Amino acid sequence: MKSGTTGAPVRFSTVGLPEAERIALWEEHNAETLIGLRCRSLQDAALDATEINLQLPQVHVARVVGSPHFVERPRAEIRRVPSDAVACYLNLAGDAFFYHDDGVRLLHPGQLLVCDADQPFMRGFSHGLEELAVKVPHTVWRDLGGPKSLPQPLVVDDGVVQTKALATLIAQALRRESPASVDEDVLLDLLGSAVTGRAPSLSTVHLTVAKAYIDEHLADSGLSAARVARGVGISERHLSRVFASGGSSVPQYLLLRRLERARSLLQEGGGKTVAEVAARCGFGSAAHFSHRFKERFGLRATDVLREARSRA
């Protein structure tokens, strides 16, 4: 059974907040959304940190960016805010250290760290933090086929195809402009195959990467199935089979994502016109765009824009 998002991504940032309150507010936010942590900024500098969170039916995903700091999950914090979950951290940039009772690990960009969130640990980011996080309840974790217990953390090395596709899937869901609906079953399958070492479904990986390629090139009016296939590195015939297995086609998905992106832009209001939105989303004709928009959403694009401006 396929499952998607349960709401829009939620953004929280310490940037612009009173410097003396930033750490306390950051700790409070993480305790409510992800995992309760104690935080300290390095060299007593003000903490600049931003987190985008999305709760899915079974797991929670987030993107975290921050200035140099370290975090700790001591036993007192675990007792205060138990998680009953496994934490998965995918490092995107810079090195980070992870201190556990079995020693210290240095994590490089592209590596995935998996640990029991209810075991004490400390993490440090001397050059800043940029990562994706997935919080997986223990009940869900057991269904993935991962180790029943995690007395020591697992590290999945850079270059594993599952982690790359996983990063793509999460990044799409957390995008500020027109986030993509994430198939949670695919996300869990990728995560499970990454931590267990079993061979991933190449069709799943190819579909994930192809959808990301399409989303990155929506403004290109010349985007075609052939272009997508070349960009992903597979044949056009295989690309068609991959999309057909998901109940769609490349043209159908491309049109849907363009319309969703356009609706998001129209709902922002502002001084843009319908023709400008159509062009930004890869439609060669404003009239064609307007027709397709009304056909899909049952509303005229001009009405959506007018309503957004009136709200503003």
pLDDT in tens, the chain (312 residues): 344 445 788 999 999 999 999 999 999 999 999 999 999 988 778 999 999 999 999 999 999 999 999 999 999 999 999 999 999 999 999 899 999 887 899 999 999 999 999 999 999 999 999 999 999 999 999 888 777 778 888 898 866 777 888 888 888 788 766 666 777 888 888 888 888 877 767 787 888 888 888 988 899 999 999 999 998 888 999 999 999 988 899 999 999 999 999 998 999 888 889 999 999 999 999 999 999 999 999 999 999 999 998 886
Supply the mean pLDDT for the chain. Answer: 89
Question: Who contacts 100 (Cβ-Cβ below 8 Å, separation ≥6)?
Answer: 115, 119, 120, 121, 152, 153
Across the chain, the runs of DSSP E, i.e. the strands, are 10-13, 38-41, 49-55, 60-66, 69-73, 85-91, 96-100, 103-107, 112-116, 121-125, 129-137, 154-156
Q: Chain centroid to CA 16: how far?
A: 24
Q: Return the pLDDT at 6.
A: 55
Q: What is the DSSP string of 31-96?
A: HHHS---EEEEGGGPPP-EEEEEEE-SS-EEEEEEESSEEEEE-HHHHHHS---EEEEEEE-SS-E
Other C-beta atoms closer than 10 Å to the C-beta of 29 total: 17
pLDDT tens-digit readout, 278-293:
999 999 999 999 999 9
Q: Return the pLDDT at 240.
A: 94
Q: How many CA atoms lie within 13 A of 129 on its CB side?
A: 28
102 DSSP assignment: T
Q: Return the pLDDT at 17.
A: 96
Report the DSSP pairing between strands 112-116 and 38-41.
unpaired
Rounded CA-CA distance 211/178 in Å is 13
Question: How is the chain split among helix, strand and coil, in percent rounded to 5?
Answer: 45, 20, 35
Rounded CA-CA distance 282/275 in Å is 11
Q: How many CA atoms lie within 13 A of 137 on its CB side?
A: 8
The candidate with the shortest Cα–Cα distance to 29, out of 64, 78, 75, is 64
pLDDT tens-digit readout, 36-88:
999 998 877 899 999 999 999 999 999 999 999 999 999 999 999 999 999 99
